[in-house]
Chains A and B, each alone.
Chain A
Amino acid sequence: MQMHSLSFDVSHTLAGGLVLISFMMLYQDRLYSLLNVFTLHALVLALSVAWQAFIQNAPHLYVTAAIALVFKAIVIPVALHRIVKQLGIHRDIESAVGIGPTMLAGMGLVALSMVLMLRVTAEADPLAREDLAFALSVVLLGLLVMVTRRNAVSQVVGFMSLENGLVLAATGAKGMPLVVEISVAFSILIAFIVIGIFLFRIRERFDSVDVSALDDYRGEQR
């Protein structure tokens, strides 16, 4: 019983930490600091997944944890750092919405996911349901980051934090098959996006990776 409540507390703390770090992402106004916060996000995710692997006695989850650690906390941030440097876009992030409204919206989303998931999963076991509520918060906050940023690199960071929420949900669902495969598939997806950003620039087709430039092109040249 003692052990159970300890394992419960630790996984709770880690999942809650992820939500907190997602909030920290919302108010970063520099690309470098956003990347650093994301690195922290990935680290906490790796810890959380490893802890789930330990308490669920599911060794295959260590693979997912290792992917989170090596790929998301080291390779991708380093690669994005270099891209940001090469593109010379380490100036301020132009967020589409101010920090105040963004934070308020973030709180609203977290409240929404808590109310929704806790009410819906009243009969599920407490660890899983609270994990799921946290995971949905992380997903929605990641979506918020994507919506409020105009810059392509920060949109990718938003997408990756969203995906971290999904991994959290998948590992929290005890005994779910294909988790490792899905995390590998997602890593490939992200690698494609990052390579894509890089190639856009290499080919010099885009003058900037500012997505608001996309608005120039509504497809209908008259």
Chain B
Amino acid sequence: MTMPSFDPVAAVLLIPIVSAALLAVLPGYRLTARLNVLASLATFLSALSLFVIERPQPGPYVLIDDLNIVFIVLNTFVGFTTSIFSASYIAHELETGRLTPVYLRFYHAMYQTMMFGMNLAFVSNNIGLMWVAVEIATLTTVLMVGIYRTHAALEAAWKYFILGSVGIAFALFGTILVYMAARPVVGEGQDAMVWTVLVERAGQFDPALLNVAFIFLFLGYGTKVGLAPLHAWLPDAHAEGPTPISAVLSGLLLNVALYALLRFKILLAANPSAIAPGPLMVTIGLVSLVFAAFMLYRRRDIKRLFAYSSIEHMGIIVFAFGMGGPLANFAGLLHMVMHSLTKSAIFYAVGHISQIKGTQRISRIRGLTVSHPALGWGLVVGVAAIAGLPPLGIFMSEFLVVSSTFARQPLLAIVLVLGILLAFGALMLRLTSAAFGRPRGSTASAEASYVPMFAHLALVLTAGIYLPAPLVVWFQHVARLLG
């Protein structure tokens, strides 16, 4: 390479943390918002360079493989576009006085710290380090959810905090159990927590201990994925925080927890006598999907509506990974990418809409396509995509999930289709009232940045029509890796 000293792994970690420190001390909205965008762009570019640069050997702390490159690139890309959206969103919040300059500084610093935490979780090869990184990412989002300090925001942050802490405690207990299982085989100390070493030797681990460990890890990280019985924090956290945070929560943080789950799933699959994690994931995935689909009908708050839609889609993704096999894994991976892009695009639109209308109540939002064509049609396309209409990307990934399930477990596929259709109905019901008809509420023009939203939607549309061959090969390879 032309720059032998350039280390992309160090870059995706150092750029966010250094800029977080800078953003914490620099004054002025314009400067900091631009710096935030710039830092996110730099992180994204360094992440992209992971594709071309020679990969470092897996060390005791850092691992770069085909699986996590997908996650890192997606993470930094959505982080970058959200920072652009956040700049215009936050300007409005400053004008209306919901945020003071001091809190803005704090917000930007936390944004970059969160990016650091998520990137660290992705690159870490050490299951203890991964746990710490997920905790950092969670803590920063808790702080940002409560940033408006209204009654509702503090309550949402508190709920998120308590449930997230319990989740994190379970995940740690599971991590300790994995170490206990590994110790007799790998030996004491550092090596028994290094993921690559664990996977190699997992066949000799005590399967019973590994099973219990996975249950705890599933409960722990599953709480953060927002799976059904453990999802209670998710809608509140999405609804009460600033909308850029809702976008990264749905688009990115859920993926981080999912990634941790997948790593441990691979670990378990390497041990033939351990339980198969598949049926557990399939069940919980379906429960989340159907539960969230029913809950969608009763939502009155637009951000809460899309929060439940995130639970629904995480359910589908976990279901697909639980089914396993090359095709279902491929579909799950594709669905995850499509969901991240679409859901963050929707939140970009919703953020501007709720700012213009001054409310998040769906009943007070009408006729958006008439009063604000760009935002309104953006929302229409986004919701059509998230509901799974062709020719958008989610249609294709959902189609793959459903068809691969029909081939193997027709009964499960029926439940799956039922859940997807239910959710589709609810979303269409809400969309028609919000997007069409006579405009209601404020019709002030939006000072919005449409670029991030339409960029995401264009990507989703392109993926629905044509997936580039190298990407397909890459995803197929990762799908095989996932077992």
> Which A residues fall within an 8 A CB radius of B?
116-117, 119-124, 128, 132, 135-136, 139, 143, 146, 152, 155, 159, 162-163, 166, 169-170, 173-178, 181-182, 185, 189, 192-193, 196, 200, 203, 205-206, 211, 214, 217, 219-222
Which B residues from 247 to 269 make CB contacts under 8 A with A?
none
Instruction: Enumerate the 8 nearest inter-chain pairs by beta-carbon distance, A residue then B residue, closest first.
Output: A175-B188, A178-B128, A120-B208, A169-B176, A177-B190, A175-B189, A214-B155, A120-B212
Report yes or no: A146 in contact with B166, Cβ–Cβ below 8 A: yes
From residue B354, how far is it (CB to closest CB) to chain A in Å? 15
Interface centre among A162, A173, A177, A217 (most CB of B within 10 A): A177
Report yes or no: A196 in contact with B158, Cβ–Cβ below 8 A: yes
Given known A116-B212, A182-B131, contact A174–B299 (CB-CB < 8 A): no
| Complex alpha-carbon distance, A200 and B162, angstroms | 15
Contacts of B304 in A (CB 8 A): 219-220
Besides A135-B173, A166-B176, A176-B179, 6 new A-B residue pairs in contact (Cβ under 8 A), listed by A number:
A124-B206, A159-B165, A173-B183, A177-B128, A177-B190, A217-B151
Closest A residue to B304 by beta carbon equals A219
Residue B34 at the A interface, CB < 8 A?
no
Report yes or no: B301 in contact with A181, Cβ–Cβ below 8 A: no
Residue B139 at the A interface, CB < 8 A?
yes
Contacts of A143 in B (CB 8 A): 166
Report yes or no: B128 in contact with A219, Cβ–Cβ below 8 A: no
Interface centre among B156, B206, B209 (most CB of A within 10 A): B209
| Complex alpha-carbon distance, A120 and B207, angstroms | 9
Interface centre among B135, B157, B172 (most CB of A within 10 A): B172
Residue B132 at the A interface, CB < 8 A?
yes
Closest A residue to B129 by beta carbon equals A178
Closest B residue to A203 by beta carbon equals B149
Closest B residue to A174 by beta carbon equals B188
| Complex alpha-carbon distance, A128 and B209, angstroms | 13
Report yes or no: A217 in contact with B184, Cβ–Cβ below 8 A: no
| Cβ contacts B165-204/A at 8 Å (1 or 0 each) | 1101100110011011001100011101100000000000
Contact of B183 among A175, A203, A219 (CB under 8 A): A175
Report yes or no: A214 in contact with B172, Cβ–Cβ below 8 A: no
Given known A123-B206, A139-B169, A206-B151, contact A214–B158 (CB-CB < 8 A): yes
From residue A132, how far is it (CB to closest CB) to chain B in Å? 7
> Which B residues fall within an 8 A CB radius of A?
126, 128-129, 131-132, 135, 139, 142-143, 146, 149-152, 154-159, 161-162, 165-166, 168-169, 172-173, 176-177, 179-180, 183-184, 188-190, 192-193, 206, 208-209, 211-212, 235-236, 239, 298-301, 304
| Complex alpha-carbon distance, A17 and B211, angstroms | 28
| Complex alpha-carbon distance, A52 and B143, angstroms | 35
| Complex alpha-carbon distance, A128 and B239, angstroms | 44
Report yes or no: B235 in contact with A219, Cβ–Cβ below 8 A: yes
| Complex alpha-carbon distance, A221 and B362, angstroms | 12
Contacts of B152 in A (CB 8 A): 217, 219
Contacts of A203 in B (CB 8 A): 149
Contacts of B300 in A (CB 8 A): 220-222
Report yes or no: A178 in contact with B172, Cβ–Cβ below 8 A: no
Report yes or no: A162 in contact with B166, Cβ–Cβ below 8 A: yes
Report yes or no: B128 in contact with A206, Cβ–Cβ below 8 A: no
| Complex alpha-carbon distance, A22 and B159, angstroms | 24
Closest B residue to A219 by beta carbon equals B236
Report yes or no: A166 in contact with B149, Cβ–Cβ below 8 A: no
From residue B303, how far is it (CB to closest CB) to chain A in Å? 10
Report yes or no: A200 in contact with B135, Cβ–Cβ below 8 A: no
Contacts of A136 in B (CB 8 A): 173
Contact of A182 among B155, B172, B192 (CB under 8 A): B172
Report yes or no: B139 in contact with A220, Cβ–Cβ below 8 A: no
Report yes or no: B212 in contact with A159, Cβ–Cβ below 8 A: no
Contact of B158 among A152, A162, A166 (CB under 8 A): A152
From residue A109, how far is it (CB to closest CB) to chain B in Å? 14
Contacts of B132 in A (CB 8 A): 178, 181-182, 185
From residue A78, how far is it (CB to closest CB) to chain B in Å? 22
Contacts of A116 in B (CB 8 A): 212
> What are 8 contact pairs spanning A and B, CB under 8 A?
A120-B211, A152-B158, A166-B173, A177-B189, A177-B190, A182-B128, A189-B139, A189-B168
